[in-house]
């Protein structure tokens, strides 16, 4: 839950605004102070969440809004409060519990990470960044996020929200590139506070600023604690002149068909016949392609007699 905000006050650009981009020291304190007052009370930010709760949240929040994640997250941690609890289950149970969060391969990857944590680290999420990165399904972003948010370490945490904040406040452009670049990583490292606790706080605060204030559309500059230093705002908010930013479509895509097929399998108590899957989508070629993709991704297991189930191994 977001803390009450003060009435918005316009922040005029100062007459003697600096001509160069703001330095890290110019950004840290105002953003961290703002975070202390306005950060949402989210379960994975509470001390009792632990490193496992942070890791689960990071898997679930990828390309998925907080409002959709919250109920699934709470059910997941109630059922599997430790990695070993999830590791005991079949992978298909993780897919079933994932519900309609989308991108269900994340559920398989989280299950795989839980198995590796149980086997390699005695059931405790490792604190070492390199060990986190070595877990299956863990990339650079997730390793940095868990090390930073769960263990208070100093790592650049570059999600879409942070990238947008840095693009606007420091680089002076409306949007970051479509894919994270080496230049963005270098900038994020250069902006990190020197001491670990402040760096971890900065990572969380800049992410929250992008999620609540410096949003992709309808940014709220009047509520931004660094509006007076923002290079993009001081430049007059020039329009994006890079490659077109295409919104993701869903209706009619293979993703929609895959979702409908998985919904049948999640709700079933046993193997499902081909005929039951055929009823979820009218176009047979696309339906077959979507089902083949689910099998290839390890989300569905074919069985003898034209039956299908969620994976057991």
Domain boundaries, the chain: 41-151, 160-235, 254-309
pLDDT digits (tens, 9 = 90+) for 29-39: 999 999 999 99
Count of other CB atoms within 10 angstroms of residue 81: 13
Which residues, 6+ apart, have CB-to-CB distance to 110 below 8 Å?
Answer: 55, 56, 59, 86, 94, 137
- What does pTM read for this prediction? 0.86
Beta bridge partners of 308: 272, 302
Q: What are the angstrom distances between the C-alpha of 274 and each of 266, 283, 308, 310?
A: 15, 14, 7, 14
pLDDT tens digit sequence for 136-157? 999 999 999 999 999 999 999 9
The helix/strand/coil state of 273 is strand
Q: Which two tokens stand for residue 36?
A: 């202390």
Looking at 37, 48, 58, 301, which residue is catalytic?
Answer: 58
CATH of domain 160-235: 1.10.1670.10
Q: Would you say residue 238 has pLDDT above 80?
A: yes
Q: What does pLDDT average to over the chain?
A: 91
Share of the chain above pLDDT 70, in %: 91
Give per-residue pLDDT as tens, 93-137: 999 999 989 899 999 999 999 999 999 999 999 999 999 999 999
Bigger pLDDT: 1 vs 291: 291
Burial class (CB in 10 A: 0-12, 13-18, 19+), 99: middle
Q: What is the DSSP letter of 225?
A: T
Is the separation of the CB atoms in 291 and 300 below 8 Å?
Answer: yes
CATH class of 41-151: mainly alpha
Active-site annotation holds for 58: yes
Predicted pLDDT at 51: 98
Whether CATH 3.40.50.300 fits 254-309: no
Helices 284-296 and 254-267: crossing angle, nearest 10°?
70
Q: Crossing angle, helix 182-191 and helix 24-38, to 10 degrees?
A: 80
CA distance 263 to 103: 13
């Amino acid at each position: 839950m977001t803390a009450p905000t003060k009435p918005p006050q316009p922040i005029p650009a100062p007459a003697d605004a600096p001509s160069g981009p703001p330095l890290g020291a110019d950004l840290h304190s105002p953003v961290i102070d703002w975070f202390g007052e306005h950060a949402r009370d989210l379960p994975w930010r509470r001390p009792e969440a632990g490193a496992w709760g942070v890791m689960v949240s990071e898997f679930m929040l990828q390309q998925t809004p907080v409002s959709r994640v919250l109920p699934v997250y709470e059910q997941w941690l109630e059922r599997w409060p430790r990695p070993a609890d999830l590791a005991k289950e079949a992978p298909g149970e993780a897919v079933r519990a994932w519900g309609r969060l989308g991108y269900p391969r994340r559920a398989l990857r989280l299950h795989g990470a839980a198995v590796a944590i149980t086997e390699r680290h005695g059931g405790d999420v490792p604190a070492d960044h390199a060990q986190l990165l070595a877990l299956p399904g863990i990339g650079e972003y997730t390793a940095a996020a868990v090390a930073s948010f769960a263990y208070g370490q100093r790592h650049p945490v570059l999600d879409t929200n942070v990238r947008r904040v840095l693009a606007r406040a420091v680089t002076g452009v409306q949007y970051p590139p479509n894919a994270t670049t080496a230049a963005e990583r270098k900038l994020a490292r250069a902006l990190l506070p020197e001491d670990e606790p402040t760096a971890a706080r900065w990572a969380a605060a800049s992410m929250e600023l992008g999620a609540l204030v410096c949003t992709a559309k309808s940014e709220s500059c009047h509520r931004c604690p660094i509006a007076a230093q923002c290079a993009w705002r001081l430049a007059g908010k020039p329009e994006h002149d890079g490659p077109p930013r295409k919104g993701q479509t869903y209706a009619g895509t293979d993703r929609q068909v895959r979702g409908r097929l998985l919904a049948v399998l999640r709700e079933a108590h046993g193997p499902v016949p081909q005929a039951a899957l055929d009823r979820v989508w009218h176009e047979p070629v696309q339906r077959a392609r979507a089902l083949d993709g689910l099998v290839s991704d390890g989300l569905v297991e074919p069985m003898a007699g034209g039956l299908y189930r969620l994976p057991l191994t």
